[in-house]
Structure 1
Amino acid sequence: MIKGLYEAHLPVSDMEVSIEFYKKLGLTLAHNGEQVSFMWIEKGKSWIGLWESGEVNLPYHPSIRHIAFLVDLENISSAREWLLSKNIDVREAFGFEPERQPLVLDNNPHAHAAIYFNDPDGNSIELIAPLRLDVNEPFKKMELNEWLRLKK
């Protein structure tokens, strides 16, 4: 029945600034409305809704102001440089400073590499790549480079 997530929504304070930001990430404009615009992640498969609102400054909580974009391992490995080339700063996450990301999340029995940054309104954006699924082998959070060295 369910095949994936089609849409997620974020509050934004300036629609045009937000549209340009998400275009830098490679998303394309699907609909530009008065209060809500949609950006394709993958046309016909997934998009995000951007809602212009005076209520953007809600306290951050991942359940209401966070989205994660799936990328592959090759792309996550170069994600920090890619973001910086677009003048997008990586932010600290889980005690890992920007220069120590991507990091590996310890969601045993799964492992994912991730890197974190904010959009212009402080919404939390994550790029995430699965490293392993359903392997019950505990580990601690670490830098992706360390994970790759240990797995050789």
Structure 2
Amino acid sequence: MIKGLYEAHLPVSDLQQSIFFYQKLGLKLYKQYDKVAFFWIEEGKSWIGLWEGPEAEIPYHPSLRHIAFYVELEDMKKAKSWLEGRGIEVRAEFGIQPLEPIVVPNQAHAMIFFDDPDGNRLEFITRLPKEMNSIEKIYLSEWEKLNL
């Protein structure tokens, strides 16, 4: 029945500023109205809606105002420099400095985090081919050394 996620929505305080930011991420603007804009994540398959309004003041929580974008492993390896090249600062997560993507070994995911102009937490994430029996977060390069 369910084949994937079609849409997600985030609150923003300044729609034009947010449109510029999401275009820097390489997303294609699909439709823009007075207080809302839709961007294709994967054209014809999934999109994100940005809604201008006071809801942008709701404090961040992982269950609110968070979206993770899937990227391939090879793209994850260069994600930090790719983001920084677009003027987007990566952020620490799990108390770990964002020197490179972080791995959650027992979930087999590598991820890197950053915020949009309204503090909505965004993430690039990829699935790794092997889970490890550890909950201690490590850098992607460390995970690769352990799994060669």
Name the TM-score class by shorter chain.
over 0.9
Gaps of at least 5 residues in structure 2 are: none
After TM superposition, the runs of 4+ consecutive aligned structure 1 residues lying more than 4 A away are none
Aligned to 2:119: 122
Aligned to 1:36: 36
Give the superposition deviation at 1:98: 1.8
Distance 1:113 1:16 in 2: 31
Q: Show the 5 A alignment for 1:31-70.
A: 31-70=31-70
Aligned Cα RMSD in Å?
1.1
Spell out, residue by residue over 1:58-97, the C-alpha distance to the aligned partner (whole angstroms, 9 max, x if none).
1111111100000010000000000000000001100111
Distance 1:105 1:32 in 2: 37
- Aligned partner of residue 74 in structure 1, secondary structure: helix
Q: Show the 5 A alignment for 1:2-151.
A: 2-99=2-99, 101-106=100-105, 108=106, 110-132=107-129, 135=131, 137-139=132-134, 140-151=136-147
Percent identical pairs in the alignment equals 55
- Aligned partner of residue 97 in structure 1, secondary structure: coil
Give the count of matched residue pairs: 147
**What letter is aligned with 2:4?**
G
Distance 2:98 2:138 in 1: 13
